[in-house]
Chains A and B, each alone.
Chain A
């Protein structure tokens, strides 16, 4: 299907092709690096630097190797890189560079060997702007890319589409029938902004965003029996609902200490433990890199990163900050899960050996290079930072990470929040920032990162800015010229997002107007009073709809036949919940009932044709109750219900 769409797109949308024909000076990151990556970096990258030559970054290329300058900007014929490639002397393997790529490299050198220049700076420049101002900025940037690519934007979504989308994105669940009716009936021109405010003020806002973030860590855990994530989710929900800054929240997570009963965010360390559940500095370094810095730092665990500018010392330098942690229940021999840091809770009068600064030894296991070498704690690409042994070793790292002038942190966070709303980030995958993977909208990413920092990392502010933009408010319906997936990357229309299992469960409860959906009990199984009580139905439901170790990816439908069968045939989805009874009591005509059921399940009114078909269907059934149950069944099992459009 995607390939078919691509083919269609190429035929019907000459816009992008025309944009590609426009004369353009090649850049190192956008054009040259992919070629070098495919042909050269095996020997001139992070693993090997034959002849002292490193081709991973523009400064390194300009510096050259033992044979001198590799590139003389503007003069291809004087550049060693060109001469070697042109003569096929390099690469030495059969994997020669194609003529087209050679031409590209020649043009790049002739054009001055330029890199991508970034206009805006992500450092917070001034005070935060109003959400409306930032929304205009978003639309200017998105609009200019669309214009350059000559791809038309889809029109504004209708109220119902916007209502369901914003409710699912911000509060994690669709609106109730009552709320939907009020919104759709309202004539207030400002009702969308007011809806966003209302959703951000509801406790569901923190609950939903908190759950999504905790799941990023929880779903990636390699531990076999991870602790229940609910307390961590509740903690993050409260922090977000209290309006705490994302910097402060992150600092609290990374420096969590003590029993998880008091500091549930300490579960973060359990989800970044090794297979036996022991806190693992190297897993922490890798995941902190991916989530908070948006980079694949873990590729530098065993040797320098093969094609990005990450040194082995960068990876282990980060790991070193987390090298003194242990599970409290192991250290204190009590059944109290928690985070314990050596040298932290020094008992009075007891002498401890306090090291100078902090460091970690690269394990001598034959896998990593430099096994046994001690690496001092250091921020990526930065100088070693001596921690205060009397304080948490993690504090200096957390302070560096969340500082307002750390663009990496703000960019990675903004990219993830953006993807929460649009189904994709400016940089994709979300954890792969770098010169080799340029953002789709670099200036917008930087501007939003700066805005996020200037606002004191106010997540609600960021959500308002995003949700008030035209880009967010567009319909998911394609118009001629923006049908292809490429148009989704330009945010020409809203891409549909698959509901997460938790969203699906909450949406089912909302639609059926019930508090919970318990799986049908097995009459043969008697509850065993000795066993701990079963997890709540929502947890059990989510576990069925998401396999272990499966991360949520909004663009990808991961459900299969067993899930379809369950939604089709389980009694819960066939008996109409409470919504059918309500509609049965209130509806004056079949058309009335169909309208009410559409509103309850899909948060919209049926189109005239749809209404006609459903009314005809209702007329043919034995009883109105059965008919309404079938209507609810049809709507619940539709792709429209399963997706956030």
Chain B
């Protein structure tokens, strides 16, 4: 390793103890202030709502001025309006930081998905980790019984655009790969042993002994294999796995999140965060609304609006909101209605990465904030464009993750999660 880097957590501890006065980059202070007030006692966590396929900003949180298909609804913040489909979230705008100037430059599903998760367009030579892998590495305890990164698939409501993003951990190593949940009602796949517990344990002990007897064959690959199995066994035997059991939740709460797979995914996410999982990604596919977004989003909003609102309320009620970042994002937005947009004449029918919208809430993010402006047609960012790297840097800042920390790739190359130019959106804090 070229130079030692102090873990961010350690820095925080030092800062809290008054050892480190200021951070070189200057953004350590607000978090430390929180800690001093005794609010940031829990480790931080993130629920990232990945709306796969490309969310139409025009039918959600940034309705264009010139020709709205939909009526707008006033939010809790004067002057800020949402699409009428989202009245409940509108009432919670004072908790959200809306980023209206997302300008990310890639409008091809899989590639844009990589960009929005890693900060880089795939280039075929270097692989980069996702924000979830980095959070697993920086926020998760190495010996945690539960996985440090869980990726929940909430299904596809509409035209699917591929399997959920896999988040390969790249140079961070397989222990920071997400554990996928393809159905929140079922939990982690293949978790049930094929034989009775006692029989299984006996065989597992034999396996452990067999591996130990092969110590003369130690290699990095064998060690990684053994670590995977240790982790898998730990998971399989852990009492904490109850966090995956939605039935353990009172019926009233379950009803509050609704019967949809998305609602169940959010309830699972909340339970996991509560149990100490630092990063949960929930993917809802189906947003690739080439036939026009209006009708589809109206349908989805019927459950999205109440369940996401419910999640925010629930986090607050449980004292988790100040330490849990909730992010609503996608791989890109949808086309404005431009004269030359060819077959994508309907508002929101095509892919559009030049001007779209995301939001963040919780974990010290300043609520009631709108960052960036778009022109009347919603086609250009007129103020405060935000790149994929800036967006991820903003997430990292909220989570207290140093995105410039140096790691070393297997080839010995020094790597940082984000590039030198990445800057968090300061207005969000």
Contact = CB atoms under 8 A, between A and B. Distances in A.
Interface of A: 1-3, 5, 220, 222, 224, 275-276, 286-287, 290, 296, 428-429, 431, 476-478, 485, 495-498, 547-550, 555-566, 568-571, 574-575, 607, 609-610, 613-614, 617, 620-621, 626, 630, 633-635, 637-640, 642-643, 645
Contacts of B193: 568-569
Contact of A569 (B191, B202, B228): B191
Nearest to B110: A224
Interface in B204-234: 206-207, 209-211, 213-214, 216-226, 228-229, 231-232
B241 interface: no
Nearest to B174: A560
Contact of B222 (A2, A559, A643): A643
Nearest to A568: B232
B213 A550 contact: no
B8 interface: no
Contacts of B175: 560
B305 to A, nearest CB: 30
Given A224-B110, A286-B124, A634-B206, 4 more contacts: A429-B411, A557-B174, A561-B147, A565-B190
A642 B226 CA distance: 11
B15 to A, nearest CB: 28
Interface residues of B, number: 58
A559 B228 contact: yes
Given A556-B410, A638-B210, A561 B216 contact: no
Contacts of B195: 574, 626, 630
B203 A561 contact: no
B76 to A, nearest CB: 40
B377 interface: no
Given A558-B168, A638-B211, A565 B410 contact: no
A561 B179 contact: yes
Interface string B66-89: 000000000000000000000000
Nearest to B191: A565
A3 B202 CA distance: 33
A428 B177 CA distance: 25
A562 B179 contact: yes
A555 B410 contact: yes
Given A222-B111, A275-B108, A562-B190, A1 B202 contact: no
B301 interface: no
Given A496-B219, A565-B191, A637 B207 contact: yes
Given A565-B188, A565-B236, A637-B229, A222 B222 contact: no
Contact of B168 (A224, A290, A547): A547
Contacts of B214: 638-640
Contacts of B180: 562
Nearest to A614: B206
Contacts of B236: 565, 568
16 contacts: A275-B110, A485-B220, A548-B110, A549-B122, A556-B221, A557-B220, A557-B221, A557-B224, A560-B175, A560-B228, A568-B193, A568-B229, A569-B194, A617-B206, A643-B221, A643-B225
Nearest to B410: A556
A643 B221 CA distance: 8
Given A561-B231, A566-B190, A613-B209, A547 B124 contact: no
Given A557-B224, A574-B194, A638-B211, A564 B229 contact: yes
A1 B220 contact: yes
Contacts of B194: 569-571, 574-575
Contacts of B228: 557, 559-561, 563-564
A46 to B, nearest CB: 17
Contacts of B419: none
Contact of A630 (B179, B206, B209, B232): B206
Interface of B: 1, 108-111, 114, 122, 124-125, 127, 147, 162-163, 166, 168-169, 174-175, 177, 179-180, 188-195, 199, 202-203, 206-207, 209-211, 213-214, 216-226, 228-229, 231-232, 235-236, 410-411
For the complex of A and B, list the 5 residue pairs with the smallest distance between their C-beta atoms, beginning with the closest: A557-B224, A574-B194, A560-B177, A564-B232, A639-B222
Contacts of A574: 194-195
Nearest to A296: B125
A610 B213 contact: yes
Contacts of B410: 2, 555-556
A288 to B, nearest CB: 13
A570 B194 CA distance: 7
Contacts of A609: 213
B359 to A, nearest CB: 28
A224 B411 contact: no
A626 B200 CA distance: 11
A498 B236 CA distance: 25
A474 B199 CA distance: 38
A550 B220 CA distance: 19
A445 to B, nearest CB: 19
Contacts of A571: 194
Contact of B166 (A275, A547, A564, A645): A547
A94 to B, nearest CB: 15
A632 B87 CA distance: 58
B244 to A, nearest CB: 13
B132 to A, nearest CB: 13
B229 A613 contact: no
A428 B411 contact: yes
Contacts of A477: 216-217
Nearest to B188: A565
Nearest to B222: A639
A3 B410 CA distance: 11
Given A220-B124, A566-B190, A617-B202, A639 B211 contact: yes
A640 B202 contact: no
Nearest to A613: B209
A173 to B, nearest CB: 19
Contacts of B191: 565, 569
Most buried by B among A568, A609, A614: A568
Contacts of B179: 560-562
A496 B213 contact: no
A614 to B, nearest CB: 7
Nearest to B236: A565
Contacts of A635: 210
B413 to A, nearest CB: 10
Given A275-B108, A559-B174, A563-B228, A550 B222 contact: no
Given A478-B216, A610-B210, A620 B225 contact: no
Contacts of A570: 190, 194
A497 B127 CA distance: 20
Contacts of B190: 562, 565-566, 568-570
A562 B189 contact: yes
B207 to A, nearest CB: 5
A565 B222 contact: no
A561 B225 contact: no
Most buried by A among B179, B180, B194: B194
Contacts of A556: 221, 410
Contacts of B203: 617, 630, 633-634
Contact of B199 (A296, A497, A547, A630): A630
Contacts of B110: 222, 224, 275, 548-549
Contacts of A564: 228-229, 231-232
Contacts of B213: 607, 609-610, 613
B225 to A, nearest CB: 4
B162 A224 contact: yes
B138 to A, nearest CB: 18
A496 B229 contact: no
B48 to A, nearest CB: 18
Nearest to B112: A275
Contact of A638 (B127, B207, B218, B221): B207
Contacts of B411: 428-429
B220 to A, nearest CB: 5
B108 A557 contact: no
